[in-house]
């Protein structure tokens, strides 16, 4: 059974003027043999990743596996910084991403090309596959065609890592998904993952929010949600806090 650590909590925000924040969830799964990251995080997370791992007595060299939910920049951007890790990427997702022209929104073409090029350290996965002991891939298309979620047998409660199939508590409650390539497929994926945590009394970790559970029919946050943004205005440094319940 895995013990779970949130290295960086996701945040459900975006900017209409400066593009996506890319504040995605980044979790570590740890047992006696493996130290597994769910997604690789965006480039801005590099110092946070080093700090979060150091608190657990680890370095990036200790990571054994990186599970990629989908091939958007904020979820795959740092896969090269884990020198001893196997990167697991969806076979269907990689095939789709490899056909996208440079400049396709959110798809980092150089990262995709590198994943396609590597013969060592990259494994392809598919729906229903038990990639590692206690970790199973679940097809969850919509946000991207080959998106995968992961069901994890944890030491306390089973967890579903939904990636951007479910980005936040609003989407889990309403089945209405923002930023999707196929709204019908997304709705079906959210419904499938919601049913899974309901039937197993599990926890769902969204792509851009803190961990969620079900209280009756309502999805609720299991931890406080907060973010802090620093900025400079009129020659004065400012700071804004945003907390959500």
Residue range 139-164, pLDDT digits in tens: 999 999 999 999 999 988 999 999 99
pLDDT at 18: 85
- Can you give the CATH number for the domain in which 114 is found? 3.60.15.10
DSSP state of 186: H
Residue range 194-240, pLDDT digits in tens: 999 999 999 999 999 999 999 999 999 999 998 888 878 766 666 66
The count of other CB atoms within 10 Å of the CB of residue 173 is 16
Pairing of strands 159-163, 203-206: parallel
DSSP state of 116: H
**Number of domains into which the chain is organized:** 1
In this predicted model, which residue has the larger pLDDT, 232 or 66? 66
**In 3D, which of 174, 184, 172 has the Cα closest to residue 141?**
184
In what helix (H) or strand (E) does residue 192 lie, and over which residues does it extend? helix 183-200
Cα–Cα distances in Å, from 232 out to 229, 235, 236, 238? 10, 6, 6, 6
pLDDT at 155: 84
pTM: 0.95
Residue range 97-119, pLDDT digits in tens: 999 999 999 999 999 999 999 99
DSSP E strands in 9-112: the ranges are: 14-15, 19-20, 26-30, 35-38, 65-67, 86-90
The domain containing residue 234 runs over which residues? 3-244
């Amino acid at each position: 059974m895995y013990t779970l650590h949130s290295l960086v909590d996701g945040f459900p925000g975006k900017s209409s003027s400066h593009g996506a924040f890319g504040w995605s969830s980044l979790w570590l799964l740890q047992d006696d043999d493996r130290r597994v990251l769910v997604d690789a995080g965006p480039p801005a997370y590099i110092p946070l990743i080093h700090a979060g791992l150091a608190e657990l007595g680890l370095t990036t060299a200790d990571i054994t596996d990186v599970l990629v939910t989908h091939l958007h920049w904020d979820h795959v951007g740092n896969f090269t910084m884990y020198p001893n890790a196997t990167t697991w990427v969806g076979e269907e997702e990689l095939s789709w991403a490899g056909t996208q022209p440079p400049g396709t929104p959110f798809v980092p073409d150089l990262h995709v090309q590198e994943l396609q090029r590597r013969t060592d350290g990259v494994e392809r996965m598919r729906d229903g596959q038990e990639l590692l002991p206690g970790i199973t891939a679940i097809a969850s298309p919509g946000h991207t065609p080959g998106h995968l979620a992961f069901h994890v047998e944890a030491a306390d409660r089973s967890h579903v890592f939904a990636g951007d199939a479910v980005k936040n508590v609003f989407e889990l409650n309403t089945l209405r998904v923002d930023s999707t390539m196929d709204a019908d497929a997304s709705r079906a994926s959210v419904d499938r993952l919601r049913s899974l945590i309901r039937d197993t009394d599990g926890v769902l970790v969204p792509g851009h929010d803190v961990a969620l559970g079900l209280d009756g029919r309502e999805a609720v946050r299991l931890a406080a949600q907060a973010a802090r943004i620093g900025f400079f205005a009129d020659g004065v440094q400012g700071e804004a806090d945003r907390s959500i319940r």
